[in-house]
Amino acid sequence: MMRFADELADLADFTFPKSKEARPSEMKMALQLIENLTAAWEPAKYTDEYRDNLMRVIQAKVKGKRPKLQERETPRPADVTDLMARLRARLEGKSRPTPKVARPKATTRGPARKAATPGRLTERTRNCRAIAWRWSYA
């Protein structure tokens, strides 16, 4: 059980449930994992910032002053994306403009297709619909 330096407890005070024996392969794997991850434990290396700040708040309130809290030593990353704000913006139509990518110039393939007249189906569209209709009744 992990504790801070001032809270270390004797393991004899704890009771653990008994379980069935593990298979030899599981034991071997567990022992290898423990050996690979084992390092010297230095409890003084860790501090209980929450408890220290809580005691500062209590002492300040007793004296009727504002507490002076200790900041974290490791700064938190500031680059956090607010997904809800981005979703709301996207739903409202305020999405960021997408960067324009330069397209390669068109190669000469031949004459361009004529635009379809509104209300009239092209031959290709009629063929696709006919094939789909045949497949749906097959």
Note whether residue 23 is domain-resident: no
Cβ(70)–Cβ(49) below 8 Å: yes
Note whether residue 61 is domain-resident: yes
Note whether residue 93 is domain-resident: no
Mean pLDDT of 96-114: 60
Distance CA 45, CA 6 (A): 12
Note whether residue 60 is domain-resident: yes
Note whether residue 130 is domain-resident: no
- pLDDT for 62 equals 92
Mean pLDDT of 106-135: 66
- pLDDT for 33 equals 94
CA-to-CA dists, residue 70 to 34, 36, 52, 92, 122, angstroms: 35, 35, 8, 41, 73
Torsion of CA 43, 51, 13, 44, to 10 degrees: 10
The amino acid at residue 136 is: S
pTM above 0.85, yes or no: no
Note whether residue 135 is domain-resident: no
Q: Which domain holds residue 65?
A: 44-71
Note whether residue 34 is domain-resident: no
- Structural domain total, the chain: 1
Per-residue pLDDT tens for 7-44? Answer: 777 778 788 777 778 888 999 999 999 999 998 888 88
Note whether residue 66 is domain-resident: yes
